[in-house]
Amino acid sequence: MIHNKSKYFQIIGLVLLSMIVTTSCEREVSDAAVLATFPTTADVFTDNPVGLTDEFFISFDPVEGANVNGFDTDESEAYEGFASIRIDVPSPNDPDGGFIGGIFRDRGEGRNLTGYDALTFWAKASTTGVLGEAGFGTDFDGDKFRTVAADLQLSTNWKKYVIPMPDPSKLTQERGMFVFSAGTQSTDGLGFVIWLDEIKFEKLGTIAQPRPAIQNGEDVVIQNFIGGTVNISGLSQTFNTAAQGDVTVNAALAYFEFQSSNETVATVSALGQVNVVGGGTATITASLGVNEAQGSLTIESLGNFTPAPTPTRNPNNVISIFSDAYQNVAVDYYNGFFTGDGQTTLGGEGPGGADLSVDGDGIINYTNLNFVGIGTFMDVPTIDATSMTHIHVDLNINEALNAGDNITLQILNDVGGNETSGSVTITAANLAANDWRGFDIPLANFTGLSNRSQLGLLFFISNSISNVYVDNIYYYIEQ
Amino acid sequence: MKTIHSKNKLRLAPYNLALILGAILIVTSCDLDETQEVTTLNNLVMSDEFDVDGAPDSNMWGYDVGDGTNEGIPGWGNNELQYYTDRPENVTVENGVLIITAKEESFEGKGYTSARLTSQDLFEQQYGRFEARIRVPFGKGYWPAFWLLGVPKTITVDHEEVLEEWPAIGEIDIMEYLGDEPTNVFGTLHGPGFSGAESISKEFTLENDRFDTGFHVFGIEWSPTSVNFYVDGNIYQTLTREDVAEETDGEGEWVFDRPFYIILNVAIGGNLPGNPTENTVFPQSMIVDYVRVYN
């Protein structure tokens, strides 16, 4: 211990020295160069909004279903003082919007929150329900330090909630003072009321044991190609709190620093975008402050990727489901995950359905294929392909191909209504392993598809092919 | 041995409040000149500063090994889940500190391993000031402790000479801590008529700080008339012979006039802390900077 203590004193000495140096420097710096520091106001809402914009509550986009009418203050309920915030959570079929949520924004240029370690607030509800999301850092202007906890269980009594800051030192100028969203998933669609009070930033001193994670804490391995891009996801920070045990928040990319084990294979940007630049293997890891994040993303780069030929048909003659050459129609999903019906297929899960993005070209990679559906019948308009004559698809079998292997396309019209369907099977002779083959199939060949004015599902079905790249799925008019 | 703890029995008789308030006032008034009325005994008679790397000093520390079965109390009387070993992965001295590490592993039929050091037969003392500087782990299921047990006397039962058993020997828990309450510790006396669930105990809560993020000093000052419990120079509980009598309606027996020995351990799970959850982080260690005894 004697050794340790003397080290201590050395460190203290250094610190003192650096303070002296810093102090003397500060005297020499001109006024103009002094960094602006922003207010450190702690309160966000007490009985009134504190230092927030005039509109106070800024809703999520009503176009996306946010209900702007359910937000108010309530002078008949308060945890402390005389007023609280009242949130009327709408039912999903409310014509004014099926959920409620939005932000409170600092009315100035932002606050310096580096002296705090948590956002805290008190909440209760008219019934035991769930507050879908609550946090800070969403300012509708980049949301750089978005920090939210999900699924906070509310009780009918006032209870304090703690949203730990992933790294307070980064929050030198934050405008996103509070964000929440709530729906009725926890109440079987029944509307209920949430009250919030005493929203503020605090230095609790009891937020400890940080355990950041990327990729949801898992060591994920994916295959990709030169030119491919992948985004790091599943970012979180977990703290132990005195009152609530472990609390995990979703933490924005900007809190993390990323590192590649081999920059000749893959580089990673400050915002977690991985670019595959060579063949080989590279592992992306991250840290948040001094803590290494659990989880990693390993890229096995298979080298150069040959994309499917770029479609050249006139867009006016095309209804595109999945292609970078055209404007795609809205789809419900590129994988319906009919797991209850025995579906094993993975893939179709990335942005816009693309599991891979190589040089900006998105590609679906279905794996463990038995069957998988692309849906256009639930929350999006069905496809009227009455005037179309063909369907096009490019397939690249990503495994050894055997004689007898085949893959079937099935198209369904008016799903769940006056349903009709037809299918066409593509055999091994027309497919290729590790190479693209394009198919232009007359819709007339889909025997049984007597009507195609409301196409709702396109299935890929195979009991012999497990792993396939898919690109450029579109209906067209043969000219 | 430490048996049948029950947290809801942690309590303090109201008449002790006055004493504690008094103690707090003294501490407050002494803050400026550094003379702490908290402790009055300053003649160091034993200290282990844990300055030599390797196994703990064998002149000072032995080990309780196993799950308590050999002692006739499987699970150490509390349904604890660990198997204590003397292996370096469970107990070692490194960089000036003693490290007792609890691991999640299958070992001798148990799911966790840990260590329990005891100074029995090596260092035993009656009265004095016992103090250690410790950092504890966190998470549901962790139950580290710094405590004392009385040396059993030989007594005659049915014309046979036998050793006294707990709680007749007495127990002074200088520091106990539950990993899911990282701001709390508690100090406790056990004896005949006030053991286990009926023990006399009090919690100390840190404000704006926690016990798992830094070292804190835990101690007692023990005289023929009382035991003072303190944390970082704050007395939070004083228990006198009269307190024991009043707490137990005269049934309790003051058994703290005999030598006691020191125990340092990290228990996992069982009746008092509850069992670890999937979120409990393993391995973690209790880190002891020093143990010092004064008279």
**pLDDT of amino acid B233:** 87
Q: How many domains are there within chain B?
A: 1
Closest partner residue to A209 among B95, B138, B181, by Cβ? B138
Rounded Cα distance, A179 and A106, in Å: 12
**pLDDT of amino acid A97:** 94
- Interface contact B209-A206, CB threshold 8 A: yes
Q: Catalytic residue positions of B?
A: 171, 176
Q: Which residues of chain A have pLDDT under 70?
A: 1-36
Residues of chain B contacting A246 with CB distance shorter than 8 Å: 279
* Contact criterion met (CB below 8 Å) for A370 and A345: yes
- Is B76 inside a domain boundary? yes
- Is B237 inside a domain boundary? yes
* Contact criterion met (CB below 8 Å) for A392 and A435: no
A 10 A CB-CB count for B91 gives 26
- Is B152 inside a domain boundary? yes
**pLDDT of amino acid B122:** 98
Rounded Cα distance, A120 and A44, in Å: 10
* Contact criterion met (CB below 8 Å) for B270 and B80: yes
Distance of CA B205 to the CA centre of its chain: 16
- Interface contact B183-A242, CB threshold 8 A: yes
Q: How many CB pairs under 8 A join A and B?
A: 46
Sign of the torsion angle spanned by Cα atoms A437, A443, A446, A451: positive
The per-residue DSSP string of A306-339 comes to: -PPPPP-S-GGGEEEEE-SSSPBPP-SBS----G
Q: Which of B2, B26, B43, B29 shows the shortest CA–CA distance to B166?
A: B2
Average pLDDT of span B1-16: 42
Q: Residue B113 belongs to a domain with what CATH number?
A: 2.60.120.200
> Could you report the per-residue pLDDT of A382-432, keeping only the tens digit for each?
999 999 999 999 999 999 999 999 999 999 999 999 999 999 999 999 999
pLDDT at B69 over 50: yes
pLDDT at B80 over 50: yes
- Is B245 inside a domain boundary? yes
- Is B1 inside a domain boundary? no
Rounded Cα distance, A387 and A28, in Å: 77
- Is B196 inside a domain boundary? yes
- Interface contact A240-B138, CB threshold 8 A: yes
Q: Which of B279, B280, B287, B292 to mutate to test the interface with A (most CBs of A within 10 A)?
A: B279
What six digits make up the tokens of B31? 């803050």
Residues of chain B contacting A1 with CB distance shorter than 8 Å: 49-51, 96-97, 289-290
**pLDDT of amino acid B38:** 77
pLDDT at B18 over 60: no
A 10 A CB-CB count for A4 gives 12
pLDDT at B288 over 70: yes
pLDDT at B200 over 90: yes
- Interface contact B281-A208, CB threshold 8 A: no
Task: Say yes or no: B211 contacts chain A, CB-CB below 8 A.
Answer: no
Q: What is the mean pLDDT of chain B?
A: 89
Q: What is the mean pLDDT of chain A?
A: 92
What six digits make up the tokens of A35? 């960094």
Rounded Cα distance, B245 and B239, in Å: 10
> Could you report the per-residue pLDDT of A299-339, keeping only the tens digit for each?
999 999 899 999 999 999 999 999 999 999 999 999 999 99
- Interface contact B95-A4, CB threshold 8 A: yes
* Contact criterion met (CB below 8 Å) for A276 and A301: yes
- Is B92 inside a domain boundary? yes
Rounded Cα distance, A20 and A415, in Å: 75
Rounded Cα distance, A71 and A73, in Å: 7
Helix (H, G, I), strand (E, B) or coil at A353: helix
Helix (H, G, I), strand (E, B) or coil at B224: coil
**pLDDT of amino acid B44:** 97
**Domains observed in chain A:** 43-202 (2.60.120.430), 209-301 (2.60.40.1080), 315-476 (2.60.120.260)
- Is B2 inside a domain boundary? no
CA distance A171 to chain B (A): 21
Range of the domain at B244: 7-274+283-294
